Amino acid sequence: MLQKVDKFIPIAKPSISEETIDEVVGVLRSGWLATGQLTQKFEENLKKYFGGRSVMTFSSATAGLHASLMAIGLKMGDEVITTSLTFAATANVIAMLGAKPVFVDIELDTFNIDHNKIMAACTSRTKAIMPVHYAGLSVHLDPIYEIAKKKNLRVIEDAAHAMGTCYKNRKIGTFGDIQVFSFHPIKNMTSGEGGCVVLDSESEQKIIALQRFHGIDRSIWDRFSKTANCYYDVVFPGFKSNMSDIQSAIGIHQLKEVETMNERRRYLSARYRTAFEDMSDEFVMQETPRFDFVHSGNLFPICFQDETRRDFFMNFLKEKSIGSIPYYTPLHLFNYYQKTFGYKKGDLPNAEYVGSRIVCLPLYYALTDAEQDYVIDTVRKFFR
């Protein structure tokens, strides 16, 4: 018998403490809502979290990825190697700059980009590799950085799912070229909307700072505070993708809590794994790789053996008040990517196999054991 739940269990839900709400109210009363001291503080705290590396906050990870590509000098006609099993943002920002996303197939077990296929995809136009730590599981970074070194490429890690992920005992964001994190509410921590870029290169930081705020050579805080000089220069036609102090107030508190929240996400993922151990005839779970890793627990994907059952399954869950999401439809199957770059069905067999069978189950800090038991029972009931 299934337990009854009287409320919908979504795929994801942010947990916002009372302390955070008080802080946001404080910002609203302060008279300073845009980028200011709290954003500076959030960036300093993130810098500590990422082992002292430079951190620049953004209105979204999408904006951070776009600015990072500009910072490495991506131009019309260049190519960037990435995965097709990801959110549209990853490749859209490449295409926006007139470059081509070169999709490399994924591993069938980890659902991450297959590093063994990257070298063959490199051409004289390749400028960067953009791996995605899908669901919060680190890609195998050592071989990717080796290829980048050999071919003189930059690596921009789409770390939207990877706040708290570790690769070989090192936290993503504490090493490597450029990492971009998302603070969208579905992610491990949130600032409402938002993201950040982590990097070392000072020349790239300069371009990113200009790109983030109209190409103006000084921050607004520098211009509007009491002692400020209000004149500025525009050195570049930049965009407007800075983070506000309202968002930073949320982010500062979430950052303090992210490790605790991730612990629970990992605990809930482990419970799903145990509960579904005997279900491999029906679906497989994301395989654990052969290197030391810590999963961030951002998503819990399952991959059906029989693709024809996925929609029935998602509808069944919906009828039982449970959310689920087919993350992701491979990007090379979308109209724009087929029309613009000539991709077609059959180009990436593994991404297509997984993309047509994958479903993510509810996973978030506030999901109770009882709610998860209900999800588990419902999943098992569907297959009975």
Whole-number minimum distance, CB 94 to ligand PLP, in Å?
12
Whole-number minimum distance, CB 10 to ligand PLP, in Å?
15
Which of these is catalytic: 100, 127, 171, 187?
187
Amino acid at 168: K
Residues at the site binding ligand PLP, with contacts judged by CB under 6 A: 60-62, 86-87, 89-90, 132, 158, 160-161, 182, 184, 195
Residue in the structure block whose two tokens are 């809502």: 33
**Secondary structure (DSSP) of 2-71:** PPP-SS-B-S------HHHHHHHHHHHHHT--SSSHHHHHHHHHHHHHTTT-EEEEES-HHHHHHHHHHH
Cβ contacts of residue 118 below 8 Å, gap of 6+? Answer: 81, 104, 129, 143, 144, 147
Residue in the structure block whose two tokens are 């490790």: 259
Nearer residue to ligand PLP within complex by CB, 182 or 244? 182
Whole-number minimum distance, CB 63 to ligand PLP, in Å?
7
The residue among 10, 21, 61, 64 whose CA lies nearest residue 252 is 21
Nearer residue to ligand PLP within complex by CB, 133 or 320? 133
Nearer residue to ligand PLP within complex by CB, 90 or 286? 90
Whole-number minimum distance, CB 269 to ligand PLP, in Å?
17
Nearer residue to ligand PLP within complex by CB, 79 or 193? 193
Residue length of the chain: 384
Nearer residue to ligand PLP within complex by CB, 328 or 374? 328
Q: Report the C-alpha gap between 83 and 139 in whole angstroms.
A: 11
Kindly list the strands in the beta sheet with 79-83, ordered across the sheet, starting from the edge strand earlier in the chain: 54-58, 195-199, 178-182, 154-158, 126-130, 79-83, 100-104
Whole-number minimum distance, CB 223 to ligand PLP, in Å?
27
Sign of CA dihedral 63, 67, 70, 74: negative
Q: Report the C-alpha gap between 384 and 380 in whole angstroms.
A: 6
Whole-number minimum distance, CB 183 to ligand PLP, in Å?
7
As beta bridge partners, residue 119 has: none
Nearer residue to ligand PLP within complex by CB, 62 or 269? 62
Give catalytic status of residue 187 as yes or no.
yes
Whole-number minimum distance, CB 161 to ligand PLP, in Å?
6
Residue in the structure block whose two tokens are 């997984």: 354
Cβ contacts of residue 260 below 8 Å, gap of 6+? Answer: none
Q: Report the C-alpha gap between 316 and 369 in whole angstroms.
A: 21
Nearer residue to ligand PLP within complex by CB, 65 or 147? 65
Residue in the structure block whose two tokens are 């994190």: 181
Phi, psi of 37 (to 5 degrees): -65, -35
The catalytic site residues sit at 187
